[in-house]
């Protein structure tokens, strides 16, 4: 025989406690009784129970049962609670379920009714535990299905995802633009105990500051022009799940303070609101910027950095995992062919070699776009060099750019020189955080010469306020 299930009954009426002891004891349960909420709490802290049955009104306190439900959410270790009351209403039932009750029953009740509710609550609890155990086992087995590739660099990422997904800690994902940071965040969510709850993503760099605050924390009707109704923020929408904050390095300092407060207190206050809302959200952030450098420069809060950076996870660029390019090419060919309603084409060896040689500054996102374009231009069942962009088919590896031999098919010298110039200018701007003055110095150019090339190649650069001598 298995271990007998244990039930805690909390009711101020001795007759009800004795009755439930007889009913449930006869059905094979060990029954423990408590005459008030305080006794019930001590019993839960002291022993393990499979179900808690509590009265809504205990003595003269009409809300004792509700408060006990709220306490059970934090201290009950997932133990289901059933609310009993002789003062039933639809509102009470809804309120009890919102506060975490597994079920609700009106007094007087039939013996079979209470037996059924207790049995169903235990079965539901066991099912939840089995699902959690299964998700943990899947994480150990490595069910990271949305990350394509088998290179050692990607395997290290997958191993890390499996290890950290089951932890409650915040995760900071670092990597160049287009490497798949959101895919990794989704993998973490799918392998976590929160997988049945929402995964919500927001790009912190793509929304103006005032709108970003409303998106994250919500607002009350009339707080600002256009606020025609109350709106829940994404912290509330993602409650119980995962909130992915992409481009976290672009978040204004004023909002960084408010985000830190939410991480510390687990409550949000909507704009224009007076009451705080308790939230339970796991934060996964991502950026292509160096947050450590930003902290030193004073553009990112140090305390927030340490709260977000509990588990840092760096993603390799596509040029660091060239062995994965053929797998990704076939993945995107299949995906885009299905979307266009056509057969998946073959790809010539020359075209595949060109794709594997290219350095992919836009990473996986750029590769996906190139394959979609090639498929759209392909008039036959085979993709060849003609369907690939010029910058890929005429690409010269950076390490050989200064002393390459002339290829047998010849080359476009002006295009090659322009490509080399563009790449070096982009690197200089990135290294100097888009300071034209510093970039010109790195390249040995005058500021006027650099501005000419920026305009010629359509490369963006910030306009500096100070006058730059020419």
Instruction: Quote the CA–CA distance of 445 and 451 in Å, as a whole number.
Output: 10
DSSP per-residue letters across 234-260: HHHHTTTSEEEEETGGGS-HHHHHHHH
The confidence score (pLDDT) of residue 79 equals 86
Are 183 and 158 in contact, with CB atoms under 8 Å apart?
no
Contact assessment for residue 440 and residue 470, using Cβ atoms and an 8 Å cutoff: no
pTM given for the model: 0.59
Query: Is domain 6-133 classified as CATH 3.40.50.150?
Result: no
Question: Is the per-residue pLDDT at 136 higher than 90?
Answer: no
Closest CA to 164 of 32, 336, 312: 312
What is the pLDDT, as a whole number, of residue 405?
59
> What band does 77 get if pLDDT is binned at 50, 70 and 90?
low
> Is 1.10.10.10 the CATH number for 319-395?
no
Q: For residue 25, is the peptide bond before it cis, meaning its omega torsion is within 30 degrees of 0?
A: no
Which range, of 82-96, 337-351, 444-458, averages the lowest pLDDT? 82-96
* Range ranked top by mean pLDDT from 69-73, 207-211, 249-253: 249-253
CATH architecture assignment, domain 413-457: Orthogonal Bundle (1.10)
Least confident segment among 18-27, 71-80, 129-138 = 129-138
SS3 199: strand
Residue 1 pLDDT > 80: no
Q: Percentage of the chain surpassing pLDDT 70? A: 89
Rounded distance, CA 330 to CA 147, Å? 14
The CATH 3.40.50.2300 portion of the chain extends over 6-133
Give the chain's mean pLDDT. Answer: 85
DSSP 3-state assignment of 284? Answer: strand
CA triple 143-146-147, angle to 5 deg: 95
Q: What percent of the chain has pLDDT over 90?
A: 46
Whether residue 43 is predicted with pLDDT greater than 60 in this model: the reply is: yes
pLDDT of residue 276 exceeding 50, the answer is yes
Beta bridge partners of 231: 219
pLDDT value for 96: 76
Q: What is the mean pLDDT of residues 186-215?
A: 91
CATH 3.40.50.300 segments of the chain: 156-316
Q: Tokens for 154? A: 């990607």
Confidence of residue 241 (pLDDT cuts 50, 70, 90): very high
8 Å CB contact between 305 and 295: yes
What does the block give as tokens for 302?
């140090």
- Residue 170 or 106, more confident: 170
Q: Are 364 and 318 in contact (CB under 8 A)?
A: yes
Domain 156-316 is found in CATH 3.40.50.300: yes
Q: Name which of 166, 252, 158, 237 is nearest 201 in CA terms.
A: 237
**Does residue 25 surpass a pLDDT of 50?**
yes
The length of the chain is 470
Segment among 96-110, 121-135, 379-393 with least mean pLDDT: 121-135
Sheet of 51-55: strand order equals 30-34, 6-10, 51-55, 81-85, 103-106
Give 226's pLDDT tier (boundaries 50, 70, 90).
confident
CATH 1.10.8.60 region(s) of the chain? 319-395
* pLDDT of 400 strictly over 50: no
Poorest-confidence range of 125-139, 174-188, 331-345, 367-381? 125-139
**Digit-coded pLDDT (tens) for 140-156:** 444 556 788 888 999 99
């Amino acid at each position: 025989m298995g271990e007998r299930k244990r039930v805690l009954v909390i009711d101020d009426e001795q007759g009800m406690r004795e009755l439930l002891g007889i009913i449930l004891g006869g059905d094979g349960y060990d029954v423990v009784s408590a005459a008030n909420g305080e006794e019930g709490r001590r019993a839960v802290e002291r022993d393990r129970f499979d179900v808690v049955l509590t009265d809504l009104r205990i003595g003269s306190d009409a809300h004792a049962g509700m408060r006990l439900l709220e306490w059970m959410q934090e201290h009950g270790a997932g133990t289901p609670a059933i609310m009993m009351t002789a003062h039933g209403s639809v509102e009470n039932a809804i309120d009890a379920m919102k506060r975490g009750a597994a079920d609700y029953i009106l007094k007087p009740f039939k013996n079979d009714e209470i037996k059924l509710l207790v049995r169903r609550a235990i079965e539901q609890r066991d099912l939840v535990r089995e699902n959690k155990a299964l998700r943990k086992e899947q994480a150990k087995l490595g069910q990271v299905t949305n990350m394509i590739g088998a290179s050692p660099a990607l395997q290290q990422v997958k191993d890390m995802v499996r290890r950290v997904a089951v932890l409650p800690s915040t995760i900071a994902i670092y990597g160049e633009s287009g490497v798949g940071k959101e895919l990794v965040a989704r993998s973490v969510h799918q392998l976590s105990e929160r997988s049945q709850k929402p995964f919500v993503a927001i790009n912190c760099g793509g929304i103006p500051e005032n709108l970003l605050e409303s998106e994250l924390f919500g607002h009350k009707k009339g707080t600002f022009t256009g606020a025609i109704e109350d709106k829940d923020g994404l912290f509330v929408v993602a409650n119980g799940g995962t909130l992915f904050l992409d481009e976290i390095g672009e978040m204004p300092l004023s909002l960084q303070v408010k985000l830190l407060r939410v991480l510390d207190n687990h409550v949000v206050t909507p704009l224009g609101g007076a009451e705080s809302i308790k939230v339970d959200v796991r934060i996964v952030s991502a950026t292509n910027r160096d947050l450590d450098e930003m902290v030193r420069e004073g553009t990112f809060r140090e305390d927030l950095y340490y709260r977000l950076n509990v588990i840092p996870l760096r993603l390799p660029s596509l040029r660091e995992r060239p062995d994965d390019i053929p797998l990704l090419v076939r993945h995107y060919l299949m995906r885009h062919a299905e979307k266009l309603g056509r057969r998946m084409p073959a790809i010539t060896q020359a075209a595949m070699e060109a794709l594997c040689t290219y350095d992919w500054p836009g990473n996986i996102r750029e590769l996906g776009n190139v394959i979609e374009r090639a498929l759209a231009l392909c008039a036959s069942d085979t993709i060849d060099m003609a369907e690939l962009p010029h910058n890929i088919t005429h690409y010269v590896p950076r390490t050989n750019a200064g002393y390459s031999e002339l290829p047998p098919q010849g080359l476009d010298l002006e295009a090659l020189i322009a490509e080399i110039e563009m790449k070096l200018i982009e690197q200089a701007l990135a290294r100097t955080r888009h300071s034209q003055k510093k970039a010109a110095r790195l390249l040995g150019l005058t500021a006027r010469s650099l501005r000419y090339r920026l305009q010629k190649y359509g490369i963006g650069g910030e306009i500096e306020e100070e006058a730059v001598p020419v």
